[in-house]
């Protein structure tokens, strides 16, 4: 009986109801139609104000599953979710690195997000789901790169690239408060980087300021000098990446 109740509670319909009313919500949905898949965070990139982004990622299929000749596809979008470029990288090491600067992004100075999907042409069985948490680092005007790891599951694709989806982070009917657990009063400047991780339009507010993001869009918000930063939205997991600046130094971490 208990297992039947558990099964019902974990069904798609029940999860939707739980999320809708806010009872034991499931923040991240699984993707039952894709049993052999690669899940990606929405990783931020920045090329604004002389910033360069370094991306470090692992060959998960090679390391954990001993699958040879796997490769990755990286897809880059602008802050307005316009596709900039798509690249395939073959010949992976266990750990790999990619520099993303304005030359790499066709001269674009700005910010946005990108996704990484692992690919394999080999038979990978029927139950293999991986997620590359990766690390993105930011360097400004030649400074040492400051790294932060992936923050939110957003999109997935099958390993053959034929199927995929988005909106892994769910929303509820009621608004959710997320208060960042750090104080920013000591910094000269603080920016929050948000991406809409849901499959729908996202409205959120910080204090009296309201923001709207379409699916896949991202935004950098200046919140300098505030001690209390509370984010109100229907999204169940809306955590920003934080950039703090003091003197001629900066730091990045996930909020």
Partner 1 sequence: MNFFFGIKSLIVNSKLTIPRFQNKKSSKKGYKVFQLGINNKKWEINNLDDVALSDDFYQIDSSVIDNGNIFCLATKDEVLQFEENNAPKLMNFNNYTDTTPDFRANLQVSIKGGGFSSYQSEYPFSMVTKRGSILSPLSSLCNKSADKNILFLKNIYELPIHDEFGVFFVNLKTKRVLKREVAVTNFMNEIIVEKDFIKPEVFIFTDKYIGIPVFCSIKGKHISLEHTHPPHEYIWGVDRFRIVSELKREFNEIIN
Closest CB to partner 1 among residues 173, 249: 249
Closest CB to partner 1 among residues 107, 141: 141
Is 203 a residue that touches partner 1 (CB under 8 A)?
A: no
The binder of partner 1 chosen from 68, 80, 93, 103 (CB under 8 A): 93
Distance between start and end Cα atoms, the chain: 41
- CA–CA separation, 52 and 145 (whole Å): 9
Is 196 a residue that touches partner 1 (CB under 8 A)?
A: no
Crossing angle for the helix pair 2-9 and 12-21, to the nearest 10 degrees? 70
Is 58 a residue that touches partner 1 (CB under 8 A)?
A: yes
- CA–CA separation, 148 and 145 (whole Å): 10
To the nearest whole angstrom, how small is the minimum distance from the Cβ of residue 170 to partner 1?
13
Is 60 a residue that touches partner 1 (CB under 8 A)?
A: yes
Using the contact rule CB under 8 A, the part of the chain among 5-13, 103-111, 174-182, 201-209 near partner 1 is 174-182
- The residue written with tokens 């991240």 in the block is 28
The binder of partner 1 chosen from 149, 188, 210, 212 (CB under 8 A): 149
27 half-sphere exposure, CB direction, 13 A CA radius:
8
Is 23 a residue that touches partner 1 (CB under 8 A)?
A: no
Q: How big is the CA angle at 105 (ends 102 and 108), to the nearest 5 degrees?
A: 60
């Amino acid at each position: 009986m208990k297992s039947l109740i558990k099964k019902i509670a974990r069904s798609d319909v029940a999860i939707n109801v739980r999320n809708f009313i806010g009872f034991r919500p499931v923040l991240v949905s699984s993707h039952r139609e894709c049993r052999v898949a690669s899940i990606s965070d929405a990783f931020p990139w920045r090329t604004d104000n002389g910033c360069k982004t370094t991306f470090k990622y692992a060959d998960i299929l090679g390391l954990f599953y001993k699958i040879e000749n796997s490769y990755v596809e990286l897809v880059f979008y602008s802050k307005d979710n316009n596709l900039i470029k798509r690249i395939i990288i073959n010949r992976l090491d266990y750990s790999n690195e990619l520099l993303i600067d304005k030359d790499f992004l066709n001269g674009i100075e700005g910010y946005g997000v990108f996704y990484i999907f692992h690919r394999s042409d080999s038979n990978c069985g029927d139950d293999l789901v991986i997620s590359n948490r990766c690390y993105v680092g930011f360097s400004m005007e030649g400074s040492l790169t400051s790294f932060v790891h992936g923050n939110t599951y957003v999109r997935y694709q099958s390993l053959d690239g034929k199927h995929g989806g988005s909106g892994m982070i769910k929303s509820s009917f009621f608004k959710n408060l997320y208060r960042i657990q750090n104080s920013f009063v000591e910094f000269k400047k603080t920016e929050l980087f948000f991406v809409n991780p849901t499959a729908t339009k996202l409205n959120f507010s910080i204090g009296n300021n309201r923001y709207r993001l379409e699916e896949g869009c991202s935004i950098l918000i200046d919140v300098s000098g505030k001690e209390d930063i509370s984010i109100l939205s229907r999204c169940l997991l809306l955590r920003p990446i934080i950039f703090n600046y003091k003197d001629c130094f900066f730091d990045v971490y996930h909020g």
